[in-house]
Chains A and B, each alone.
Chain A
Amino acid sequence: MAYYAIKGGEEAIKNSLDFYGDITKESEKLDDKDLIEGLTYSIDRVISEGSLYTKKLAAQAIKRSAGDLLNASFFLRAHRSSCQRIGIAKTVDINDMRLTRRISSAFKDIEGGQLLGPSNDYEIKLLVDLENIETNIEEYSTKDNIIKSAMSPLREDNLIKILPKEDKPWDITRSYPTEPYPRSAVLQVMARAETGSLLCVGYTTMRGYGDIHPTIGDLRIGELDIEFTHPFTKNEVKVGSIEATAVECVGTFNQDEDGDTKLTTGFGFCFGKNETKAISMSMIDLSLYNTHYSVGGEHIIAADFDMIMHHLDGIESFGMTNHFKLPHYVTFQTDYQIFKSAQKYTDDKKEEEKGLAK
């Protein structure tokens, strides 16, 4: 069943668009720079879910959709498909991140220390006027913080379970894989997934359907350099830098391919500052690849590759859900006619049986 092509209604559609423009036009008065700097987390969510790092267009998309962030992500995803892909940047490594925030809830004392960075984690969420707190930071160091993940020492000591290496990453935007899904494709799906969807599935693991209680080994937010090859000198050139969030969560113990018992971990990464998304991704990653200690029954959503690969993309689920608004007259009328015919058949049958009984 599908929706059917329709025609007509041009004037009503034009008037509807005009009406939409009327109720959203105030957003056009917002300055792009103000949006980028003022609603920085909204911008970051849109570039992450739209899977296109462009803060300028994210600001425009948020204005065009009057603050509907999923709709704004749709604009970016559509724009992405209209651009030529020039190539692949040099691989980025989270250990090279210039940190603005880095915490670990697994280790109290870590190399480089815990950096709270810009966060309102410890603020009481009451909408009262904020106190103007005076701070003096002159005495603090001006040095960059480029610190290895808190999980690195354990990894170097071979205490962490590793998964098989892939020769070449899969690209789901060119072809979508079938089972068994390559790990690179699974991570790509989650990196561009909708935050709420990831959070929902990640939350199921905490409510009794998975590894229950992972610990954040390393959560980091910061800048990563994007490098590409200069076409004339053939040397690496810095194109710019991106903000990103990465999380490594630690689960329990599990056996690796050689039968050795190791600590299990999950990895989360996304564009921009989005801790909730990266934490959720790392927890789902942990569940997918380490089901041994999972509880809550056989069918665990967060450990089901098919479920993860086909249900987390915000643009796809948004599009599919909203397509139900389009005229389905023929589809519904078909169902309705079948229902009416069945009802008539049942009524006739009853009448016939009554007649026979007499």
Chain B
Amino acid sequence: MKREDINNLAQLVQLEKLEKLYKEIDKDNKVQVLTPPTEQTLLVPVRDPISNSDFYAGEVLVTSTIVQVNDTKGWSMVMDTNESLSLYTAVIDAAFEADIFKEKIVTILEEAKSQDSLNKEKINQKVNATRVSFDLM
């Protein structure tokens, strides 16, 4: 697992599990919140197929946090307004980089990834069940 996978995968984990992990990290390490969870927006450019140029379709609301665990900085940017999720994810990002609870982090995130894949497969089955080729009359 790469550090870049954490931001997305942590959002798939149950919040209670993330909170527990965050508390374990916080217990034996110095966790500092450098930038508290803050609502921000990201502009979304979309490729226009007709001119092959970009245009802005709107903005996505995200919640970002920057923390420091001992000497390592961590960051998160999660979808929507989600202060706790953003804080826990940033701490996990730093802990992963600093090799703190790394194995446990990987296990929890991999579990969430597997569950998410199963959920997606079920949705895909529903989508694929609607594939149609109408007969011409």
Interface-forming stretch among B21-29, B33-41, B104-112? B33-41
Contact B131–A89 (Cβ < 8 Å)? no
Is the Cβ of A237 less than 8 Å from the Cβ of B4?
yes
Binary per-residue interface labels of chain B (22-59) against chain A in the complex, 1 for a CB within 8 Å, 0 otherwise: 00000000000000001111111111111111111111
Select A115's contact among B52, B97, B130, beta carbons within 8 Å.
B130
Report the minimal beta-carbon distance from B46 to chain A, rounded to whole angstroms: 5
In the assembled complex, B71 has its CB within 8 A of some CB on chain A: no
Whether B47 and A270, one on each chain, are in contact in the complex, defined by CB atoms closer than 8 angstroms, is: no
The answer to whether A91 touches B125, judged by C-beta atoms less than 8 angstroms apart, is no
A-B contact count (CB 8 A): 233
Q: Which one, B55, B59, B125, contacts A53 given CB within 8 A?
A: B59
A85 touching B7, Cβ below 8 Å: no
Docked pose: A99 CA to B127 CA in angstroms: 8
Residues in A71-93 with C-beta less than 8 Å from chain B: 79-80, 83-93
Nearest-Cβ distance from residue A19 to partner chain B, whole angstroms: 29
Docked-complex contact A267 and B48, CB < 8 angstroms: yes
Interface size on B, residues (CB 8 A): 58
Most chain A CB atoms below 10 A, which of B39, B61, B123: B61
Residues of A within 8 A of B3 (CB): 230, 233
Say how far A226's CB is from chain B's closest CB, in angstroms. Answer: 6
Q: Is the CB of A57 within 8 A of B61?
A: yes
Contact residues, A60-80 vs B (CB, 8 A): 79-80
Contact for B44 among A53, A113, A144, CB less than 8 A: A53
CB contact under 8 A between A143 and B41, given known A53-B58, A248-B49: no
Contact with A along B74-88 (1 / 0, CB 8 A): 110111111000000
Chain B residues whose CB sits within 8 angstroms of the CB of A54 once the complex forms: 60-61, 80-81
CB distance from B99 to the nearest CB of A (A): 15
**Minimum distance in angstroms from B28 CB to a CB of chain A:** 22
Whether A207 is near chain B, meaning CB under 8 Å from some CB there, is no
Q: Can you list 14 residue pairs at the A/B interface with Cβ under 8 Å?
A: A56-B80, A84-B38, A85-B41, A92-B44, A113-B133, A115-B128, A116-B130, A165-B51, A232-B97, A236-B4, A238-B4, A240-B79, A266-B50, A269-B57
Residues of B that sit less than 8 Å from A by CB? 3-4, 7-8, 11, 38-62, 64, 66, 73-75, 77-82, 97, 120-134, 136
Residues of A within 8 A of B (CB): 47-48, 51-57, 79-80, 83-94, 99-101, 108-109, 113-119, 135, 137-138, 140-145, 149, 151, 155, 160-167, 169-171, 173, 183-185, 187-188, 191-192, 226, 228, 230-233, 235-240, 242, 244, 248, 265-267, 269-271, 285, 289
